[in-house]
Chain A
Amino acid sequence: MSLLEVRDLTISFGSKKVVDCISFTLEKGARIGLIGESGSGKSMTSLAIMGLLPDTATISGSITFEGQELIGLSDREHSRLRGNRIGMVFQEPLTALNPLMRIGKQIAGPLMIHKGSSLKEGLKKALELCTKVGLPDPDRILRAYPHQLSGGQRQRIGLAIALACEPALLIADEPTTALDVTVQREVLNLINALVDKEGSSLIFVTHDLPVVSAMTENVAVMQLGKIVENASVASLFHEPAHEYSRRLISAARLAEDSFSGKGGQL
């Protein structure tokens, strides 16, 4: 049985289909990249799996996770999976953290919700998690507020929150888009290392082909809500089947050329 099976998933707002009959499967421990330009429906796909679509959206098709159908699941039951079996990292590491809550409490949150930890136990675990995501001086970090940390540090916190309950699936929705290139590299390496170590599956969402090539072997290319190509990263680079994929690659080459003068990131 696959860990996650998405069949004919369709999401619309009124008559506008933003995700159009997409299907993919993800085995336990496997990774998939979702790539496509902004507005192609990547985030809506991620949110559908989390059960967090805006309530104006209508959804059809099927999403099974660990053998359980998620579409039509009550919010209460869905929330038992969120942050527990499925973790999610968001694009904006600043706005995804509560500005008035200390970091320690925010990391302890999922543990208190799902594992019945007390605040004290949660904070103790948060300390370990901080070290795990490579944050120096975790004692200070736990007492800090989000605005006192750098973008890269915040995204590491986001990762610590998402991985707190050791989820079977991690969804990272453009986790490095808001970061500087050098920090981007560090966070990607961290995600790689942690997902390997925990044996989680990964859905990595991005609009950036070089980024996805550093993260996953297989990618699904999305355009206007449809998956237009499903391929390994290597074959996508060498023989892109779809016109849109070819455009993504030439855009990536262009970016690489303009970077190479400065030492070529990624």
Chain B
Amino acid sequence: MRKAMKGNVSLIAGSIMVSITFALLILSFIWTPYDPLAVNPEDSFAGVSMRHILGADKIGRDILSQIIVGSRVTLFVAALAVTVAMTLGVSAGILIAVASRRYQSPMIYAVNIALAFPAALLAIILAAVYGASTITAVTAIGLATAAAVAQVTRRTAHGILASDYVLAAHASGASTWRIIRKHVMPNLRASLLIQASAAVSVSVLAESSLSYLGLGTPPPAPSWGRMLAGSQQYLFVNPLLAIWPGIAIVIVVLGFNLVGDGVREVFDPTLRRSDS
């Protein structure tokens, strides 16, 4: 790992940002300056001070405490959504890649339709039917991201299946299932890592947007997206209220994106050769 890190700016910067986020998550279970939900009318719109390090919102709730606890919803939804997206997307992508040509094009078509379907629309539909909740947000984000994962996985798997070593494996009598397990999956690994980290970014962003739109985890559980939505009325009076959750979101999204880039660098086949 240390060797992989060396000189890999994206991986280093990304790892630091991701670590900050996880540190917040762990901290949220141990200590927060205040109860994030405690209302203190006398602290309404308190500025940055020793009392409230990041200030307080309209009803005097401590911003730092809300940011710390808000990491739970964000990371919980992202983790679940990415699990759903990777499981569905990777299975679908591989299935399509190995399917006979006759079934391939309708399935590719179906993925393309799913791709055109934004997470927000799906979330609105699900929220309308089941009521907005963490589960509807996870489902909407997971399904929408799965389509993108399926698309990339199919393309990568297709390239692997067309390789000489898969032909050679067939020539050794390997079954399709064996080829998937022993040849396709290991050679997909780099691509999957990159996709997973990108999927985390997308999911965090999507979760924030859905919370912002009131389609995510319902109040009072603090969430960065909803903090952003709540601060919008006071944007000109009190811009800091929007900036703090904004920074938090940017750190997670950028962090996972950079990690993805860094991983890409590590797995670049032109760099791999040199380790012999």
On A, residues with C-beta under 8 Å from B are 50, 52, 55-56, 76, 79-84, 87-88, 90, 92, 95-101, 105, 109-110, 113-114, 147-148, 158, 161-162
* Measured CA separation A52–B174 after assembly (Å): 12
Q: Which residues of A contact B182 (CB under 8 A)?
A: 98, 101, 105, 109
* Measured CA separation A98–B167 after assembly (Å): 10
B interface, how many residues as a size bin? 20 to 34
- B164 adjacent to A95 (CB under 8 Å): yes
Q: What is the number of contacts between chain A and chain B, taking CB atoms within 8 Å?
A: 77
- A147 adjacent to B273 (CB under 8 Å): yes
Given contacts A92-B164, A96-B165, contact A82 B170 (CB under 8 A): yes
Given contacts A55-B100, A55-B101, A99-B187, contact A109 B165 (CB under 8 A): no
Which 6 pairs of residues, A with B, have the shortest CB-CB distance?
A83-B172, A95-B164, A83-B173, A82-B173, A96-B168, A110-B172
* Measured CA separation A84–B170 after assembly (Å): 11
Given contacts A83-B173, A113-B174, contact A97 B168 (CB under 8 A): yes
* Measured CA separation A88–B171 after assembly (Å): 7
Closest to B183 in A: A98
Closest to B187 in A: A100
- B186 adjacent to A109 (CB under 8 Å): no
* Measured CA separation A147–B164 after assembly (Å): 15
Contact of B186 among A52, A88, A100, A161 (CB under 8 A): A100
- A82 adjacent to B168 (CB under 8 Å): no
Q: How far is the CB of B158 from chain A (nearest CB, A)?
A: 13
- A113 adjacent to B168 (CB under 8 Å): no
- B163 adjacent to A95 (CB under 8 Å): yes
Contact of B172 among A55, A76, A82 (CB under 8 A): A82
Q: Which of B100, B174, B187 has the most CB of A within 10 A?
A: B174
Q: Which residues of B contact A52 (CB under 8 A)?
A: 167, 170-171
Q: How far is the CB of B184 from chain A (nearest CB, A)?
A: 10
* Measured CA separation A56–B171 after assembly (Å): 18
Closest to A51 in B: B170
* Measured CA separation A83–B168 after assembly (Å): 9
- A113 adjacent to B171 (CB under 8 Å): no
Given contacts A101-B186, A148-B276, contact A109 B170 (CB under 8 A): no
- 6 A-B interface contacts by CB (under 8 A): A79-B170, A79-B173, A83-B173, A84-B173, A98-B182, A161-B172
Interface 1/0 per residue, B126-167 and A, CB below 8 Å? 000000000000000000000000000000000000011101
- B174 adjacent to A79 (CB under 8 Å): yes
Interface 1/0 per residue, B168-193 and A, CB below 8 Å? 11111111001000110011010000
- A90 adjacent to B172 (CB under 8 Å): no
Q: Which residues of A contact B169 (CB under 8 A)?
A: 98, 109
* Measured CA separation A82–B164 after assembly (Å): 16
Q: How far is the CB of A76 from chain B (nearest CB, A)?
A: 8
User: A82-B170, A90-B168, A148-B276 given. 15 additional CB < 8 A pairs?
Assistant: A52-B171, A79-B173, A79-B174, A83-B174, A84-B173, A92-B164, A96-B165, A96-B168, A97-B168, A98-B165, A100-B186, A101-B183, A113-B178, A147-B276, A161-B172
Given contacts A52-B167, A113-B178, contact A98 B173 (CB under 8 A): no
Q: Which residues of A contact B276 (CB under 8 A)?
A: 147-148
* Measured CA separation A80–B163 after assembly (Å): 22
* Measured CA separation A99–B166 after assembly (Å): 11
Contact of B165 among A76, A84, A97, A148 (CB under 8 A): A97
Q: Which residues of A contact B273 (CB under 8 A)?
A: 147
Given contacts A90-B164, A90-B167, A92-B164, contact A98 B175 (CB under 8 A): no
Closest to A92 in B: B164
Q: Which residues of A contact B165 (CB under 8 A)?
A: 95-99
- A113 adjacent to B100 (CB under 8 Å): no
Contact of B175 among A79, A88, A92, A101 (CB under 8 A): A79
Q: Which residues of B contact A110 (CB under 8 A)?
A: 172-173
Given contacts A55-B101, A113-B178, A147-B276, contact A80 B173 (CB under 8 A): yes
Closest to B168 in A: A96
Q: Which residues of A contact B100 (CB under 8 A)?
A: 55
Q: Which residues of B contact A55 (CB under 8 A)?
A: 100-101
Q: How far is the CB of A32 from chain B (nearest CB, A)?
A: 19
Q: How far is the CB of A264 from chain B (nearest CB, A)?
A: 32
Q: Which of A56, A76, A100, A162 has the most CB of B within 10 A?
A: A100
Q: Which residues of B contact A96 (CB under 8 A)?
A: 164-165, 167-168
Interface 1/0 per residue, B264-276 and A, CB below 8 Å? 0000010011001
Contact of A113 among B164, B172, B187, B269 (CB under 8 A): B172
Q: Which residues of B contact A99 (CB under 8 A)?
A: 165, 187, 269
Q: How far is the CB of A261 from chain B (nearest CB, A)?
A: 35
Q: Which residues of B contact A147 (CB under 8 A)?
A: 272-273, 276
